[in-house]
Amino acid sequence: MNLVARCSLSLTSLFFLAAPVSGTIGPLRPTSEVNPTQPVQLAQEAITETVLFFETDSRAVRIFRRGSDLFMNLYNKATDRVEVRNTPAELVPSTEDQTVYKNSLGEAERFARITILNETELEIRGANGVLVLQEPGFNAVVGIPAGPTNFKGNNFAPGTGAIVLSAEAARLRAQPRLGSEILAAASRREIVDVIDRVGNPEDGFIWYQVIYQGTTGWVRGDLLQPA
């Protein structure tokens, strides 16, 4: 698969990160509809945060947490359809050098793995444990817990508003990584709505998924602080 095709697929499959996880796909309320002088409380329910996202040549997988529960989304690039949406996942016993999440739906079991070296893998097994798919992943991002972290940038929970700290403007990117397509820009001191938070092991930054004037994109964590 060439680079142009891979980038195109990346934008499509990242809708798992861009869309609300309520089961419907659509934008949340833009900043223009809220009072910018008050903290923006986006979530009426438990905050939803990405725990792990990565792509393989044929799929994209997202593990996310809502409250204390884990869920999985699985997107098939070839058929352009969601095979698994908002179905329960669990953390399974694993070795010290990897973390494994499991989802069971129908007769299949799906395993999303990430090692301490940030290498990822998707494995799907059908009835009687028959191996259906085993593919390494790329473009991985991981969840960021509260407290100290090795990722660069301010660390705060999503579900509120944030102030842009950039000297000129903060770029909203299509993906949570440096060099990704620029979708819009938010000027210094503007308020953006923060809806998700991940860490990118490749560039070392915390990234926040935000909504600004109706556009959803990703902003580096060093360019934002909680309002």
Query: Which is more confidently placed, 64 or 15?
Result: 64
Q: What is the DSSP letter of 116?
A: T
Ranges of each domain in the chain: 3-25+46-142
Q: What is the pLDDT of residues 66-118, one digit of tens each?
A: 999 999 999 999 999 999 999 999 999 888 899 999 999 999 999 999 999 99
CB 97 within 8 A of CB 84: no
**Model-level pTM greater than 0.75?**
yes
Q: For residue 13, which phi and psi values (nearest 5 degrees)?
A: -75, -20
Residue 140 one-letter amino acid: A
